[in-house]
Amino acid sequence: MPDLPDLVPLDEAQARVLDGVTALPSEVVDLADASGLVLAAPVHSALTVPSWINSAMDGFAVRGADIAAASAGSPVVLRVLGEVAAGRPPEAGVAQGTAIRIMTGAMLPDGADTVVPVEDTDAPAGASDIPATVAVFAAVRPGDHVRLPGSDVEAGAYLMGTGRACDAAAIALLAATGHASVSVHRRPRVAVISTGDELVPPGLPLGPGQIHDSNSLTLAAQATEAGAEVRRLGIARDSLADLLALLREAVAWGDVVVLSGGVSVGAHDHVKAAFDTLGDLALWRVAIKPGRPFAFARATVDGRSVRLFGLPGNPVSVFVTFELFVRPVLRRLAGHARAYDRPERIVRLAEPMRGSSGRQTISRVVLVADPDRPDGLLARSSGGQDSYMLASLAAANGMVFIPPDTDLPAGAAVVAWELRGRED
């Protein structure tokens, strides 16, 4: 038996991996490239929005007082002076007894204080000819259907703070308030390496004993989903020299290096030795199933701090350990306030689940609404739980944490992470 260190509990291993991780330096990027990046400084509005009074409806700009008595039975007829379309200044003002046809977002002409929607007039909606007169069938109060300057945002107003991710709504607000670029934390760079003599890239034929390299694609997808820029550096053969060559390339570029396979105690497992050569091996056995062999090291390369993860080879272990250890680090590097973002819920088991001796078991499950508890969720196994079984991984929308040395009956409450949207 090789001399094995003690198993490190999951929460302690997570804390060690996150220790000292801070947001990457900031840079200014075009708003068009900011999707998913995290603000590195608070942002204030450069404009008053709306900047000028404009119409909220297609209709007629009028003086509210002129049509105060209008109704379907006794319409008020106004003379139409012209039209104001979006993007052009009004050519005339509205005087007593007159109206100007107006489009949504167009500037309200002088003299007008409200807009009659086209539906409340005799003007056909969508007609191109401007009518000479318009009959108004309903009174509209002054101020209705108009958008006042600053009613959305005042110039100089605080919009959002450091740590806010540039999602679609944030980008919409920034663009509308006069920003063309924004200061964000740099996107984390993740280099991905697979190890193993048996691996063949997907799409190539398999010889005896060979399998497709799925892990590098899994990890690239997970890192991309976590907001990172990813490079797949290929497959290292089971030799220390081959592994070191690829790892040197990886640490020269990446903030994080994620490698799978070769981390165990097998005769051809060189990851721990390679990590020890390049950095300080900090951790390598965690009390979880799947994912017990797990290497973590830190290296300093050209003054940059690089974190190296050696994940187990089994594809499910890869997926699970990325979720538990790598995703939180990427989020922290990216500048998110919360490292752990997967929705955590207490759910009930739909069926008994077995724990493992001395380790937390992380089972892939399908989470569905619990018919017996409003807002509650039920977890049932998504299929075979062996760490090579990808069909049940793809079927799962969550995972549950079974405490060590515990067999749980149906109905027991457990902690779950939701991994993607539910479809029930």
Binding site for Mg ion (CB under 5 A): 196, 261-262, 313
Single-letter amino acid, residue 186: R
The residue count for binding ligand AMP (CB under 6 A) is 19
CA distances to 144, 203, 310, 400, 421 from 365, rounded to whole Å, are 52, 30, 25, 7, 13
CA distance 275 to 243: 10
DSSP state of 377: E
Pick from 114, 264, 360, 381: which binds ligand AMP (CB under 6 A)? 264
Distance set, CA 340 to CA 161, 205, 234, 297, 325 (Å): 20, 39, 29, 21, 9
Distance CA 34, CA 247 (A): 30
Task: Supply the minimum distance, in Å, between the C-beta of residue 244 and ligand AMP.
Answer: 16
Q: How far is the CB of 393 from Mg ion (least distance, A)?
A: 19
Interface with ligand AMP (CB under 6 A), residue from 227, 290, 313, 335:
313
Tell me whether residue 193 or residue 379 sits nearer to ligand AMP (CB atom): 193
If one asks whether residue 341 binds ligand AMP (CB under 6 A), the answer comes out as: no
Residues 251, 277: contact at Cβ < 8 Å? no
CB of 405 to ligand AMP, least distance (A): 25
Smaller CB distance to ligand AMP: residue 232 or 380?
Answer: 232
Contact flag: residue 249 with ligand AMP (CB under 6 A): no
Q: Please, what is the minimum distance in Å from the beta carbon of residue 232 to Mg ion?
A: 17
The item of ligand AMP, Mg ion, none sharing an interface with residue 211, based on CB under 5 to 8 Å by kind, is ligand AMP
- Subset of 175-234 contacting ligand AMP (CB under 6 A): 194, 196, 198-199, 211, 213-216
Strand stretches in 133-265, DSSP E:
133-136, 146-147, 158-160, 181-185, 189-195, 199-200, 211-212, 229-236, 256-260
Residue 247 buriedness (CB in 10 A; 0-12 / 13-18 / 19+): buried
Work out the number of other CB atoms within 10 angstroms of the CB of residue 105: 15
Find the part of the chain contacting ligand AMP (CB under 6 A) among 94-102, 108-116, 307-315, 353-361. Answer: 307-315
C-beta of 387: minimal distance to ligand AMP in Å? 8
What, of Mg ion, ligand AMP, none, does residue 213 touch, CB below 5 to 8 Å by kind?
Answer: ligand AMP
Amino acid at 385: Q
Whether 309 contacts 279, CB under 8 Å: no
Query: Considering the rule CB under 6 A, would residue 27 count as an interface residue with ligand AMP?
Result: no
Residues within the interface to ligand AMP (CB under 6 A): 194, 196, 198-199, 211, 213-216, 260-264, 266, 312-315
